[in-house]
Chain A
Amino acid sequence: MQTIENIYKPILVEIIEVIQETADVKTFKLKFKDPEQQKSFSFKAGQFAEYSVFGVGECTFCIASSPTRMDVIECSFKVAGKVTSALDRLNVGDTMGLRGPYGNWFPIEEMKGKNVVFIAGGIGLAPVRCVIWNVLDLRKEFKDVTIIYGSRSVGDLVYKRELEEWAQMNDVKTVVTVDPGGETPDWKGEIGFVPTIVEKVAPSGVDTVAIICGPPIMIKYTFPVLEKLGFTEDNMITTLENRMKCGLGKCGRCNVGNVYVCKDGPVFTHKQIKALPDEY
């Protein structure tokens, strides 16, 4: 039978490790079933993929590992809908599907030689973490690196082992916070919403790029703080997370105005976002 080139066909990957990040967030380490496909696969920090559980469907999220570490591909997801619930039931050794990488990426090359401030909230650390490792693996090429991460409660912090690893590094400033009321009696980090903590840490906006991912409400209140600190609209970079099906600019649902998040995004500067209609 003659077959056609199929852009909707996923690559088969095997789950080699499952990390329970929080009660409802997991990280999968994935290896390609076909070593040749593993070799030819490449992506850039910020790009996303369509992950599938055969028999249930596909789901969109970022590639959470760094392109500087290509031995495994990692993804982190929060159990929220049909497909993420099915992903939650998979175990080490199971096969799933992956389509991608899709979309644009963070401008790592242009960030070189500058200070970098990472600001993330909740599961929003997943796309940021990919850039953090990318930057840390090329540490000498960047100036000061600051990481500000917050979640609702101590129990909701993801990548805890890595937060500790970053805190130990001499050349990285790491600040972790939880929302007021989310602390435990032995909590040693900050208490306060992310925008408040950003104001307190007060990284200079001069010659600095800020990468911000998290709940829309966090992003909304962080921008004005950064503006006060001297960040320009072009140097505040975030991602949009609209619902997608194809990831290829065809299925017609992720657009914000005439911008397709899957093709023109998911990475946008604050300047670009300000030009968009309120539809995200």
Chain B
Amino acid sequence: MNEYIITNEQINQLASELLNKNWNVVAESSDGISFKSITQGEDIKLNPSSKPSNLSPKQFFFPKSETLFFYKKTQTDVEIIDTAGVGNKTIIFGVKPCDTALTGILSKVFNWDYKDEFFNKKVENTVLIGLKCGYNDDDCFCTSVGLSPESEKGSDIFLVPLEDGSFLAKAVTEKGSEFVKENSKFFAPATDAKSKPVEMKAAPQKKFDPARIKEWLDHNFENEYWKSLGDLCLGCAQCAYVCPTCHCFDIVDENFDYMSGRRVKNWDCCQYTMFTKHASGHNPRSHQSDRYRQRVFHKFKYYPDRFETILCTGCGRCIRGCGIGMNISEVLQQIDKF
């Protein structure tokens, strides 16, 4: 039996105990902006109906800026100093299904040949506590990309809110089961007499069919539609930064002083002019429409072609955050009608 009951109070106590054991305990911050490390157990207030935070928890697996190594130079020599690449044990509480799915999706690109252990070790080192979602607005479209408010994909333990205020906790992975075993005093076995799950807002309606979208994309790399979209998009990249699955990065050197520094992997974005620009000045994606098309193609054709997974979780963050109202869900709905 992999189902347990945990109360809000027990979650707070569990978090306190993990903090005492030097775990990095993470939850959505109360300002709704991002997921942050907390300093006391009571800071965790799980709210299934809250709007997704502006930033996804992607940064805990693929940081905005990550040291690859340090270097120290002498006159003619260089010394490379390794980094640990992974910190304290981490637990993230209250992650909605459109965010828990990110680890499974991203592990494909980070492991398809060369293995990016910076990503892998963080996934291994993290316990993801998923939470059934009771939020639904016009921008949500998880059900159109194969997920749902109760999808357990990526969660180690999945919480379902019950009418009596407690949660049904399902251990989804082996790591989740181990975690429950190690912290068994906070988890009571679920009995048949358990309270009923809370009625929540209905899941978002299916808005488009990704199979049909891919079929259209297969034949419409050249299409006037892309030009009309490119004229609107500013290429500011906020959509990629808030996205749980966008993973393009840059590698740059940062000097501390003349003789030492670090090489870092930084978030980058395919919407930037410089992203593909050659040193010669030639740019294979010179117009914004080429770059917007790349974003849609990467998510709904290239990634599924190669990894059999859509590079999108339907969280809607890129739509809510766009300064000029670009709406990928509407773009896909339009394509579905072509």
Contacts and interface: CB of A to CB of B under 8 A. Distances in A.
A250 B247 contact: yes
Contact of A249 (B84, B114, B263, B276): B114
A280 B250 contact: no
B277 interface: yes
Interface in A1-18: 1-10, 12, 14
Given A54-B71, A243-B277, A7 B261 contact: no
Interface in B97-149: 109-110, 112-118, 121
A14 B112 CA distance: 32
B278 A243 contact: yes
Nearest to B282: A216
Interface in B238-255: 247-253, 255
B175 to A, nearest CB: 19
Given A10-B80, A257-B302, A243 B69 contact: no
B80 A5 contact: no
A57 B261 contact: no
Interface in B63-107: 68-69, 71, 73, 76-78, 80, 82-86
B265 interface: yes
A58 interface: yes
Interface string A259-280: 0000100000000000001011
Contacts of A2: 84
Interface stretch (A91-99, A160-168, A231-239): A91-99
A6 B117 contact: yes
A257 B301 CA distance: 9
Contact of B113 (A52, A94, A249): A249
Nearest to A8: B68
A55 interface: yes
A279 B270 contact: no
B171 to A, nearest CB: 27
A12 B268 contact: no
Main SS class of interface, A? loop
Nearest to B69: A9
A249 to B, nearest CB: 6
B82 A54 contact: no
B265 A253 contact: no
Contacts of A157: none
Nearest to A259: B302
B305 interface: yes
Given A245-B250, A277-B221, A6 B76 contact: no
A80 B71 contact: no
Contacts of B77: 95
B279 interface: yes
Contacts, number: 133
B306 interface: yes
A258 interface: yes
Interface in B260-284: 261, 263, 265, 268, 270, 275-280, 282, 284
A12 B80 contact: yes
Contacts of B277: 243
Contact of A251 (B69, B76, B222, B248): B248
A54 B73 contact: yes
B73 to A, nearest CB: 6
A94 B76 contact: yes
B105 to A, nearest CB: 14
A225 interface: no
A241 to B, nearest CB: 7
Interface string A141-173: 000000000000000000000000000000000
A67 to B, nearest CB: 21
Contact of B117 (A4, A257, A258, A263): A4
Contact of B284 (A246, A248, A280): A280
A47 interface: no
26 contacts: A4-B85, A4-B86, A5-B117, A8-B69, A9-B82, A10-B80, A12-B78, A54-B261, A81-B279, A216-B282, A243-B276, A245-B268, A248-B113, A248-B114, A251-B249, A251-B251, A252-B109, A252-B248, A252-B268, A253-B268, A253-B270, A253-B275, A255-B294, A255-B298, A256-B284, A263-B113
Please provide the 10 A-B residue pairs with the shortest distance between their CB atoms, ordered closest to farther: A252-B248, A80-B279, A81-B279, A4-B85, A3-B82, A258-B302, A4-B117, A248-B114, A8-B68, A95-B78
Interface of B: 68-69, 71, 73, 76-78, 80, 82-86, 109-110, 112-118, 121, 221-222, 247-253, 255, 261, 263, 265, 268, 270, 275-280, 282, 284-285, 290, 294, 297-298, 301-302, 305-306
Given A253-B270, A254-B276, 10 more contacts: A9-B69, A54-B73, A54-B253, A55-B71, A93-B76, A251-B249, A252-B109, A253-B268, A257-B302, A258-B306
